[in-house]
Structure 1
Amino acid sequence: MGYEPTSEELRHLRRCVELAKEALEADDEPFGSVLVSGDGKVLAEDRNRVAGGDHTRHPEFELARWAAENMTPEERAKATVYTSGEHCPMCAAAHGWVGLGRIVYVASSAQLAQWLVEWDVPPPPVRTLPVNEVAPGVRVAGPVPALVDEVRALHRRLHRPLHSPPHSPPHPGA
């Protein structure tokens, strides 16, 4: 089960995955988000920037802050946030408080939580929750099966170094 995005939505979601990859290549956690106006114009985009120690530097939170400073309440309500992963509770709350419209995500928080369990990664300090448990009035669409494997692979790359067995020395005579 999942959400089948329109071609325009898929374009924005692909950009989110590109931003997540940029974050990973910058030694950060792979998350990326794009804010799109009600008439389809890309207004802002960002990637995760938590590697510096400020764990509130999630792209969804940054876009909510940008929207609060640069958009009217009416414009915010008509906007859509596209994102590589479903909002965490902090970002869902910011989204709700700012009054942004719909969220479309590639991978759900439940999927991410399951991947972390599969890879034996310790849980994050804040429990993952679906957006609507934090902000019940927000319209949400996802996950997007066409892109989930790409997002999973990015998270796997992030966590592989922590859990890879050490390299074995070559066999004698090899």
Structure 2
Amino acid sequence: MRGVGCRNIFQSGQRDIEVSGPHLVEEASRVHIGYYDQFRLSDQEKSLLRRAIEVSARSVANGNLPFGALMADPDGNVLLEAENSDITGKSPLNHAETNLMRLAIEQLTPEQIATATLYTSCEPCAMCSGSMYWGGLNRMVYGMSEADLLQYTGGHKLNPTMTGVGCRAVLQSGHREVEVKGPFLIDEASVIHRTYWTS
């Protein structure tokens, strides 16, 4: 990937991480950020995104954070679903989208992943966006944006939401194109977050 160095990611969070380098090298960085285009979801895609939002509610019911994702083929058939499992899995790396990409790599062919669309209740973080890129995904649709999420999470220790490094900055900085659509159904996606982070 180009344009999204470690500094962009580390310095966009809720806490400081010191970064030293590069040394003995002149580095020029350029960030290519895609712009949200006005795009309407089909009824089928709205249904799939709503199902991802339902998975986020199921994640909470199972003792985890309110995030959910699914992968569907070009005909809208759901191939896989995944919840966040940070708490029960005892790892802050168990985000819904990363869990989903792990499952996809284990259970699907590269061709199935390449032609699928990932639907997620919230805009993916930098880690999850990276897992999509490296996992071979070519299209993603999300509900609530990270900026919207930050209104609810603030500096919550379980979800120190990053700002300034949206999924587009990560996914559109690589050497292949990844289509990103969102945010959509923001009110529906945010319902569970309105009370979760204050309870």
Which TM class, normalised by the smaller chain length?
A: 0.7 to 0.9
Residues 131/56 of structure 1: CA separation in 2 closer, same or farther (3 Å cut): same
Asked if the contact 1:16–1:33 (Cα under 8 Å) also holds between the matched residues in 2, the reply is yes
> In structure 2, which of residues 49, 54, 58 is the aligned counterpart of residue 18 of structure 1?
54
Provide structure 1 residue ranges, at least 5 long, that are not aligned to the other structure.
Answer: 162-174
AA paired with 2:197? H
Residues 74/63 of structure 1: CA separation in 2 closer, same or farther (3 Å cut): same
Partner of 1:127: 162
Partner of 2:125: 88
How far residue 112 of structure 1 moved from its aligned partner, in angstroms, is 1.1
Q: In the aligned structure 2, how far is the partner of 1:140 from the partner of 1:23?
A: 24
Q: Deviations over 1:7-55 (max 9, x none)?
A: 1111111111111111122332111111011332211001111112211
How far residue 3 of structure 1 moved from its aligned partner, in angstroms, is 4.5
Asked if the contact 2:122–2:144 (Cα under 8 Å) also holds between the matched residues in 1, the reply is yes
> In structure 1, which of residues 120, 143, 149 is the aligned counterpart of residue 187 of structure 2?
149
How far residue 69 of structure 1 moved from its aligned partner, in angstroms, is 2.1
Provide structure 2 residue ranges, at least 5 long, that are not aligned to the other structure.
Answer: 1-35
How far residue 63 of structure 1 moved from its aligned partner, in angstroms, is 1.4
TM-score (norm 1): 0.80
More helix by share: 1
For 1:160, what is the secondary structure of its paired residue?
Answer: coil
Partner of 2:74: 38
> In structure 2, which of residues 151, 155, 178 is the aligned counterpart of residue 114 of structure 1?
151
Q: In the aligned structure 1, how far is the partner of 2:113 from the partner of 2:61?
A: 31
How far residue 142 of structure 1 moved from its aligned partner, in angstroms, is 0.8
How many residue pairs are counted as aligned between the two chains?
A: 157
Partner of 1:166: none
User: Which has more radius of gyration?
Assistant: 1
Asked if the contact 2:83–2:99 (Cα under 8 Å) also holds between the matched residues in 1, the reply is no
1:56-95, aligned counterparts within 5 Å? 56-95=93-132
How far residue 4 of structure 1 moved from its aligned partner, in angstroms, is 2.8
TM-score (norm 2): 0.71
For 2:188, what is the secondary structure of its paired residue?
Answer: helix
